[in-house]
Amino acid sequence: MAVGIFDSGLGGLTVLNAAQSRLPDVDFLYYADSARAPYGVRDAEDIYQLTKKAVAEMWSKGCDLVILACNTASAAALRRMQEEGLPEGKRVLGVFVPLIEALTERQWGDNSPPREVEVKHVALFATPATVSSRAFQRELAFRAIGVDVEAQACGGVVDAIEDGDLILAEALVRSHVDALKRKMPEPQAAILGCTHYPLMEQDFQAALGEGVKVFSQGALVADSLADYLERHPQMLGSGTGGYFTTGDPAKVSNRATQFLRREINFEAA
């Protein structure tokens, strides 16, 4: 039985790693659309169609539940997929809500009206497509009022990480943080709104300063998934785990092994 985790590339491995640690008895099927990564520079319709196609392939492999570990896909495709209707017994979940619930200190599943929260100034670092979608701000408005969100589109960071050029990625992180702080000099919290960015979390923290609390998604999504599966055990599905990519399996396997520092072997999707 396997739960699906989808990402446009390798960033979702940060969510997969946390989920495997949190749920060691659950098999996971990871699907990376590496041939078309990054999604963050694509338009919303393109992202929707690519995400829908990938999720359908994961359903065909026996995953009844798919987590969109790609923030860009969560922002541009999730709501539309849910509104247009999913096949019976299939579910797709995103990664924004667990993050927002942690930021606003609301319990999982708390559907009470939005209220004032302690954090008033939030920096959001995300891909250009996620920033333009304003999906994070929309979901936040369901849960909190009076929060000022300043978003910074972090062009180039995903490409640098996917290429294994962490020196360039670090330089880009510093540049994007500097640009954000010119607009919001004193953020209280920062959201790493792309699953690639936790790989650079220390660099974000260093550039932001110790007084800024940095939220990333791996452990938060893993905890929410554990809670969901406890309430919906039937969503474990019938498939088996594995790693699949639309890109070059050997190249993607090599990069994934570097990221997680353990051997990962991808197959052709």
Those residues with Cβ within 8 angstroms of residue 60's Cβ, 6 or more apart along the chain or in another chain? none
Residue 133 CA neighbour count, 13 Å, CB half: 30
| Cross-strand partners of 148 | 121
Backbone angles phi, psi at 208, to 5 degrees: -80, -30
Query: Are 269 and 57 a contacting pair, CB within 8 Å?
Result: yes
Rounded-to-integer distance, Cα 195 and Cα 87, Å:
27
Residues serving a catalytic function are 70, 194
CA distances from 204 to 184, 209, 217, 257 (A): 15, 8, 14, 23
Rounded-to-integer distance, Cα 99 and Cα 176, Å:
21
Query: Are 102 and 220 a contacting pair, CB within 8 Å?
Result: yes
| Strand, helix or coil for residue 7 | strand
Q: Look up residue 179 and give its two tokens.
A: 């640009």
